[in-house]
Amino acid sequence: MLISYKFQNFRSFKGKTQLNMEAGTQRTLDENLIRENRLRILPSAVIYGANASGKSNIIMSLALMREIVLQGSLEASSPDLSTMELYPFAHGSEQKPMLFEVEFTNEGSRFLYSFEVLTKLFEKEKRQIISEQLWMSSSKETIQIFERSLQRVTIKREKKVLSLIQYNEKLLAEFENKINKNLDPAELFLTHAFKTVISSEIADKVIDFFKNKLIVVSDFTLKKTNLTFSAADMPDKDFLAWNKTLDGFVKNADFGPQKILFKSQKSEDEHSADMQLVSIYKSGKRDVMVSAELMESRGTLKLLDFAIPFETLFTKGGIFVLDEFDAAIHPELIKGIIALFNDQSVNKKGAQLVFTTHNPIYLSNKIFRRDQIKFVEKDKDTFESTIYSLADFGSTDVRNDQNYLLNYFKGKYGTLPYIDFSKLFAKEAEEGE
């Protein structure tokens, strides 16, 4: 589960910014919360903001952190890393590092992992990791596993740490010296030397969160609907399960076709064959099979693209972070999906959903708690974005029984854009006379 995500000096965000998924003190909709040990975690959150306010930058920064961890390097040839430049805050004269920090739980352990990157705009060869830290927590204590400053790593010598990594102090010192002599300024210590030399068990738990538990979808991740792929990547049991999931989505979402499913383009025993998403329609007494890409709407394809990740989230847990999740999808369908995450009788694995939107229909105390509703606003003078929640206004300013939607359009929460094109078109009309 995601507890908190912090970042700093990235695109429109200058100061340290936090996406906090730990619940506040309010008791409204308290039954929706995910509880793990002493934690009270939000199962979902929605982020509002005007165009160019910076809300997409939150999603992009998290996508970048994920990609850097999985690649293990700032110089990786990944399409995402080569396409998504690490943009520092552009309006400051002082060069400062970018911070990426995430606190989460995975496989019964609680972690805080962070690193700082120093870079210059459009100068990829100047990128370097200047700090890196890993902490582990239990119900009794929080311990630091390692700390990195520039090209020097220090692995902590506390008894608890030595026990976890199964090293004695003398042997650890020898490895630490060798590591520091060969530490690459563009490589993460976690995914390289720490994993291969110090503790693959601890490193794997952290990396697994980014690889298998954190799903980030935005325009910047180059995510496209996967309508065709190799059958070798889909075992027979997954093939049947995925088609069952898709069938459930079609029936419950009231789509047009009778059925949408994955089908092999060759014989079923040829695991080298390609699997294609197809739609089945009734034509008289016979079924007609056509490519889903040709027949289905953008919204249908988008929702189907999310069907399998949802299945994984509710069976194994994880967090789904999406930019403009509801684009081309009916709001009532989105409400239904939000309800699944908020219903702990269904969401037994602690899955989480975070998404950005422009649609104010979700501003309801029947759908979200105050701390689940986030806003992003950009200062018109400094060009700096900030994030805050409805709960930050305080219970005296925003009561649980208030009409959030009405207050939003009154401008009480900020983030509402001021739009006036009249002068522009009046000028054009005058010039055309």
* pLDDT of amino acid 224: 43
* pLDDT of amino acid 138: 80
* pLDDT of amino acid 94: 67
Average pLDDT over residues 138-167: 90
Q: Is 375 exposed, middle or buried (0-12, 13-18, 19+ CB in 10 A)?
A: buried
Average pLDDT over residues 212-219: 87
Per-residue pLDDT tens over the stretch 5-46 = 999 999 899 999 999 999 998 888 998 899 988 899 999 999
- The C-alpha atoms of residue 368 and residue 372 are separated, in whole angstroms, by 6
Min mean pLDDT across 109-113, 134-138, 254-258, 303-307 is at 254-258
Over the chain, what is the mean pLDDT?
A: 82
Contacts of residue 239, Cβ cutoff 8 Å, sequence gap at least 6: 231, 262, 275
* pLDDT of amino acid 80: 58
Per-residue pLDDT tens over the stretch 70-104 = 999 987 666 655 555 677 887 766 678 999 999 99
DSSP state of 417: P
- The C-alpha atoms of residue 103 and residue 1 are separated, in whole angstroms, by 9
Average pLDDT over residues 288-295: 75
* pLDDT of amino acid 202: 95
Q: With 80 as the cut, is the pLDDT of residue 126 above it?
A: no
Q: Which domains does the chain have, with CATH numbers?
A: 1-218+323-433 (3.40.50), 224-316 (no CATH)
Q: With 50 as the cut, is the pLDDT of residue 364 above it?
A: yes
Backbone conformation region of residue 385, classed left if phi is above 0, alpha if psi is from -120 to 50, else beta: beta
- Cα 337 to Cα 19, 196, 208, 320, 430, distances in angstroms: 21, 40, 25, 12, 50
Q: With 90 as the cut, is the pLDDT of residue 387 above it?
A: yes
